[in-house]
Amino acid sequence: MTVVQAAVIQLSSQDDVNVNLGRVRELVLEAGRAGAELVALPENFAFMGEESKKCQIAERVDEHPAGPIVSTLRLAAREAGVWLVAGGMPEKSPDSDRPYNTSLLFDAEGRLVSRYRKVHLFDVDLADGTKLLESAATMAGDEPVVEEITSRAGEPVGLGMTICYDLRFPELYRRLGERGVRIVTVPAAFTLTTGKDHWHVLLRARAIENQVFVLAPAQHGKHPRGRQTYGKSLIADPWGDVLAQCSEGEGFAMAKLDFAAQDRVRKSLPCLTHRRMT
C-alpha cells in the first residue's frame, strides 16, 4: 500500500463562531499547502462557550442550503483538496434542547461523506472544581461509524470515527478494528486536569491494542466559563509511537501514515488473531 500524509489541527476556540470558522479555514488551507491529504479538526472547533448556546448554532448537516458551519467545512475541504474530519459540532437532534455532538467527514471535493454522533457523553465533577454535564445539553449517538477514504494513489483506506470521551471505552475501538479500519480519529477537548495524566497513555493504548494509526486533534488553552484544555494534538502509529505532536497554541502537526509498516506490525505481532474473548 501507499502512504497518506495526515495533519491534526490544534485550536483554541472561543465563543465567536465566525472567528473560529475563519481560523479553521486558514489552518486547513495551510495544512493542505504543506502536503496533507487528510486533515482532522478538534472537538468544538466552531464553538467553545455556554452549553445553552449550542442549540442556537446547531445545524442540520444535510440541509440545503447548508448552514455556516457546514458551508465553511465544505469550502475548506474543496479549496485545500483534502479529506477533512471535522471534530464535534452541534447537529440538530429530535430534542431541540440537546443537539448531537457530531463529527463530519468530507472528501476532497467538499462532499459530505459520513457523520458520527458522539456515543459517550462527558459527565464529571473533577477535584480541581471542573464540573461538566455534557448529557444535559447533548443527545448521545448510538452507532460506531467506519468509512473509506481514498489516498491520492487511488487506494481505499478504512477510517473509524470517535470523539474525545469515547477514548476511555476500548470496546468501541475494538469494534472499529473488527471492521478493518487502518486509521481512527479522536477529535477532542480534553481538560487540562485529565489530559496531563491520561491523554498520551490512552491514545497510545488504543493505537497499540488495535494496531491502527490514531489522529487526535485537540483544543488547547483557556476558553469561556473558565475551561482549560490540554492540547498536545498528536498522531500515533500502530506500534504506539508518537509520530508528530503540536506544541503550545494553535497550529498543526503532520506525519506520514505508512500502511506497509502497519502491515509489518500486524504480521510480526498478530495479537488481533489470537483473541479468545469477544
**Which residues, at least 6 apart from 209, have a Cβ–Cβ distance to it below 8 Å?**
170, 173, 174, 177
Element (H, E) at 235: strand 234-236
235-257 mean pLDDT = 98
Element (H, E) at 193: helix 192-210
Residues comprising the chain, all counted: 278
C-alpha grid cell, residue 148 = 473509506
**Catalytic residue status for 171:** no
Helix then strand then coil, in percent of the chain rounded to 5, is 30, 30, 35
3-273, what's its fold? Nitrilase/N-carbamoyl-D-aminoacid amidohydrolase (3.60.110)
Hunting for cell 488547547 — which residue is that? 220
Rg over CA atoms, the chain = 17
C-alpha grid cell, residue 270 = 498478530
Q: What average pLDDT is seen over the chain? A: 95
Residues 180-199 pLDDT 10s:
999 999 999 999 999 999 99
**Which residues, at least 6 apart from 19, have a Cβ–Cβ distance to it below 8 Å?**
none
pLDDT of residue 123: 86
Out of 54, 92, 118, 232, pick the active-site residue: 118
- Helix, strand or coil for residue 257? strand
Out of 43, 91, 134, 147, pick the active-site residue: 43
Out of 91, 147, 164, 250, pick the active-site residue: 164
- What's the rounded Cα separation, in Å, for the pair 102 and 185? 13
- Residue 140: pLDDT band by 50, 70, 90 thresholds? very high
Neighbours of 244 (CB within 10 A): 18
**Catalytic residue status for 164:** yes
**Catalytic residue status for 246:** no
Strands 183-185 and 156-161: parallel
DSSP state of 240: S
The pTM for the full model equals 0.96
| Alpha helices (runs of H) in 59-191, residue ranges in sequence order | 68-80, 170-178
* Cα angle for residues 69, 38, 271 (degrees, 5° grid): 120
List the chain domain ranges. 3-273
- Residue 226: pLDDT band by 50, 70, 90 thresholds? confident
Burial class of residue 277 (count of CB atoms within 10 Å of its CB; 0-12, 13-18, 19+): exposed
| 127 pLDDT higher than 80 | no
Burial class of residue 268 (count of CB atoms within 10 Å of its CB; 0-12, 13-18, 19+): exposed
Contact, 217 vs 12, CB < 8 A? no
pLDDT of residue 138: 92
- Residue 133: pLDDT band by 50, 70, 90 thresholds? confident
Element (H, E) at 216: strand 213-216
